Each structure stands twice: as C-alpha cells, then as structure tokens.
Amino acid sequence: MAKFKATSNVVFVVDGKETNFDKGIEYDMEVKKAEELNAKGAITHPELSPFFERVEEKAAKADK
C-alpha cells in the first residue's frame, strides 16, 4: 500500500462499485491499482492524466 493524492475529482469503477475520488485528498491504495486507474483514465481523459500521484515520491523529491 502507498499514499496517492487525487489530481482531480473523478469516479472510477473499482471492484464493481463506482468510487468517488476527490481532488487533493490522499488515498491509501495498492501501487498496481493506482497505475491501473491512471492507465484507464489516460485513455478516456488524457488531458487530466495522471489522476493519482504518489505522495511519497513528491516528498522524496522535495528533500533532495
């Protein structure tokens, strides 16, 4: 599991259920799931992609 921040308000079907993700909110999810959702989003709305950014990676880059 890792923390990801939503970059826009979006709804994805996750495990058969519509799930809302709100812009600027952090979510705990599997890296593979976030990558899968970003890939799906890139097909339907490339102008908004990526939908999820890993929080730890931004923190690590800021420390350098």
8 A C-beta contact, residue 11 and residue 55: no
Strands (E), the chain: 2-6, 10-14, 17-21, 26-29, 52-54
Average pLDDT of the chain, as a whole number? 89
8 A C-beta contact, residue 23 and residue 9: yes
**Which residue(s) pair with 17 in the sheet?**
14
| Per-residue confidence (pLDDT) for residue 34, from 0 to 100 | 95
Q: Where are the domains of the chain?
A: 2-63
| Per-residue confidence (pLDDT) for residue 35, from 0 to 100 | 96
DSSP 15: T
Task: Give yes or no for residue 64 having a pLDDT over 80.
Answer: no
Cβ neighbours for 62, distance < 8 A, ≥ 6 positions apart: none
Task: Give yes or no for residue 61 having a pLDDT over 70.
Answer: no
Mean pLDDT of 17-32: 96
